[in-house]
Structure 1
Amino acid sequence: MEKKLKPQGHKVYPWGQAKTLETFKFFLLGFQVRECLRIFLFCLLLVVYFGTICGNLLILTLVSTSKNLHTPMYFFISQLSISDILLPTDIVPNTFPILLNNGGAITFISCMTQYVVFCSSEVFECLLLSVMSYDRYVAICNPLRYSSIMTTAYCMKLAIASWLLGFSIALIAAIIISLLSFCGPNIIDHFFCDLLPLLDISCSDVFFFQVVAFLLSIPFVFTPIVIIIYSYANIAAVILRIPSSTGRQKAFSTCSSHLIVVSIFYWTIFSVYCVPSREETLTISKLISLLYTVFIPMVNPIIYSFRNKDINKASYEIIHKYRT
């Protein structure tokens, strides 16, 4: 027998009623599928999560210990690895009981905490991918000044600014969500606390929040896209002017991994948040959300390490060091 949740209706005004805030809960439906499929998903997520943590920890270890990887490009890759550890750690452990029990309750505070971490990671990755494209732009289009522009201090400032901006945007969004009223049954048809499902169950007028979300998306989502497009347009122009095919291939190889990561990341983001939500696409939306919150963080270190001579060399050095 499948367990059926019987949530009770509530109306909550979080900032005005502290006791209500402590006891108020949402009910995450997760994936409403047969038990065998839920067990399969549980096992799959467990393996993927373990691989994600190991792969990204390996990248962080190699970048921190190998002197050959003490460059701006690998510093930014290590920051991406931190984000790729943080995001699935925020989502996957909470998804396990939801899968096993075919749904589960989450308190309002836990829901907002999960959303802040999730949103911070996503905004940070948007900003970081644009920073990484700028790094490749300087390296290829202005190589003589690369070391003087992309200094260690400058790279640190870019990374810290990206983290702070990501957290600030997530905190603002969480505060605005907390000002909404939620009238029961407070059932979220998703496996984690995401923006659109929360807006769907609110009984407040969400037009103001939608306007604020759109305005915030311009500098923190669309502007990074413009920077990436501008950077790679200039990079492509420079690469095409390289006379030898070997030189063009070498220049392009330094950008190919980043381009793949950018393409996958923005494809999944736009598929979830820009395609109109319809009842028949809820399952697809969940699967795509699962893709960019769980699977992509595992794929990123594979993409950046695949056929990467510097990372392979650093790996062999560490293996040789521990063997001897």
Structure 2
Amino acid sequence: MNEDLQVNISRPPPENVTAAASPLPPVLDSEPELVVNPWDIVLCTSGTLISCENAIVVLIIFHNPSLRAPMFLLIGSLALADLLAGVGLIVNFIFAYLLQSEAAKLVTVGLIAASFCASVCSLLAITVDRYLSLYYALTYNSERTVTFTYVMLIFLWGASTCVGLLPIMGWNCLEDESTCSVIRPLTKNNAAALSVSFLLMFALMLQLYIQICKIVMRHAHQIALQHHFLATSHYVTTRKGVSTLAIILGTFAACWMPFTLYSLIADYTYPSIYTYATLLPATYNSIINPVIYAFRNQEIQKALWLICCGCVPSSVAQRVRSPSDV
């Protein structure tokens, strides 16, 4: 045994041993590095901004007992839906790169689908409320309006919850990849149904805003006659109201229409960059919503000023609502 050991030591080292003793470190097999999609980073950043912005609106409405009118309840519903959508985008990013499982994907996609559905439905409910507040101006503040508002909220959140539960309850394409839509694991039929529903709601909103525009023009004309305003003043007021409605509806269409139409014609075989490019503007709608519906409101502005600096500027406190503020 000793002779064998001496022989082994006296032999020249094999080539692999010499390589191991060289100053260069050996090349070891390692797992591939996790590559993060830049589009996912942009969506996560958008979700963070959405969450922070809408959380402010939710806290303002929740902590102010005076903000309990139907209009503020609907604005709060919109802010809550957008807040959940932002959280869903953040959670989706975390689960996609840290907890890669089909169950987590179903939950996050369901949350995002339900949140955006509630956001669009809340926008429709706000449009209905604005129409009723102008058409039934004398009886709008009755108990009947409050009851109707709660019914709308229950219905829209119930329907949105059902939409979010569909992927978890088996309405997904995990077992058959050929049925997948542009957003996995939603099926092509589910995406098409949601897109058609959106187009129908957009058509209803368009019709309601046309009626609102007519009422605003009529009210502005009546006010001008009662106060003996000049025709130019009536024209300016009416144009401001029409412009506001056009901005509201145009922003909504510009944000959601690309993704809606793309979901109707595309499927999982299309490049994912098209999905990101059309989905990202849809998330911008949740960023713009608080600016249009919450921060422009005089009462919410007062509450925000009180929270930030403990006072309300005279320009905000003495602002008079005009027919163009719709």
Q: TM-score range by the shorter chain?
A: 0.5 to 0.7
2:282 corresponds to which residue?
292
The Cα shift of 1:159 comes to 1.0
Aligned-residue sequence identity (percent) comes to 18
Give the distance between the partners of 1:231 and 1:319, measured in 2 at CA. 36
Instruction: Judge conservation of contact 2:259–2:275 (CA < 8 Å) in 1.
Output: no
With over 3 angstroms needed to count, the CA separation of the structure-2 counterparts of 1:45 and 1:176, relative to structure 1, is closer
Q: Distance in 1 between matches of 2:244 and 2:69?
A: 13
Q: Give aligned pairs, total.
A: 269
Q: Distance in 1 between matches of 2:141 and 2:40?
A: 46
Deviations along 1:257-294, one digit per CA (max 9) or x if unpaired, are: 7435532443243244134359775313213323324x
Contact conserved, 1:72 with 1:155, CA < 8 A, in 2? yes
- Match of 2:182? 196
Q: Does 1:108 align with 2:94?
A: no
Q: Look up the match of 1:248.
A: 238
Pairwise CA distance, 1:93? 3.4
Confirm whether residue 58 of structure 1 aligns to residue 56 of structure 2. Answer: yes
Corresponding residue number in structure 1 for 2:123: 129
1:61 partner amino acid? L
Q: What displacement does 1:162 show? A: 0.5
CA change 1:322–1:306 in 2 (3 A) is closer
**Alignment gaps of 5+ in structure 1:** 6-28, 32-37, 187-193, 201-205
Q: Could you give the per-residue CA deviations for residues 107-145 of structure 1, whole angstroms, max 9, x where no partner exists? A: 121111112112211222232221111111112222122
Q: 2:73 aligns with which of 72, 75, 95?
A: 75
Q: 1:26-75, CA deviations, whole angstroms, 9 ceiling, x for partnerless residues?
A: xxx863xxxxxx4x974x66654443222212111222334554322222
Q: Decide whether the 8 Å contact of 2:305 with 2:311 is kept in 1.
A: no
Equivalent positions of 1:40-189 (< 5 A) are: 42=41, 48-66=46-64, 69-96=67-94, 106-148=100-142, 151-178=145-172, 181-182=175-176
**Quick one: distance in 1 between partners of 2:242 and 2:31?**
53
Q: Which SS does the other structure have where 2:166 is aligned?
A: helix
Report the alpha carbon displacement of residue 87 of structure 1 after superposing the two structures with TM: 1.2
C-alpha distance in structure 2 between counterparts of 1:230 and 1:159, whole Å: 21
Distance in 1, matches of 2:242 and 2:299, equals: 16
- TM-score normalised according to structure 2 size: 0.66
What secondary structure sits across from 2:266 in the alignment? coil
SS at match of 2:132: helix
Q: Which residue of 2 aligns with 1:313?
A: 302
Q: CA distance change for structure 1 residues 92 and 179 in 2, over 3 Å: closer, same or farther?
A: closer
Question: How much does 1:239 deviate?
Answer: 2.5
Per-residue Cα deviation, 1:201-238 (whole angstroms, up to 9, x for no partner)? xxxxx7xx62x6645665x4343223212211211222
What's the secondary structure of 1:143's corresponding residue?
A: coil
Supply the distance in 1 between the matched residues of 2:243 and 2:67 (Cα, whole angstroms): 17
CA distance in 2, matches of 1:168, 1:148: 31
Contact 1:134 1:231 in 2 (8 A): yes
1:282 to 269, 272, 279: 272
What is the one-letter code of the residue matched to 1:284?
Y
Comparing 271-280 with 60-69, which one deviates more in the overlay? 271-280
Q: Name the CA shift for 1:4/1:61 in 2 (closer, same or farther; >3 Å).
A: closer
If you compute each CA radius of gyration, which structure gives the higher value, 1 or 2?
2
Q: Per-residue CA shift, 1:145-177, capped at 9, x if unaligned?
A: 222376333212211211111111332354343
Matches within 5 A, 1:213-228: 214=192, 218=196, 220-228=197-205
Instruction: Pick closer, same or farther for the CA change 1:150–1:231 going to 2, 3 Å.
Output: farther
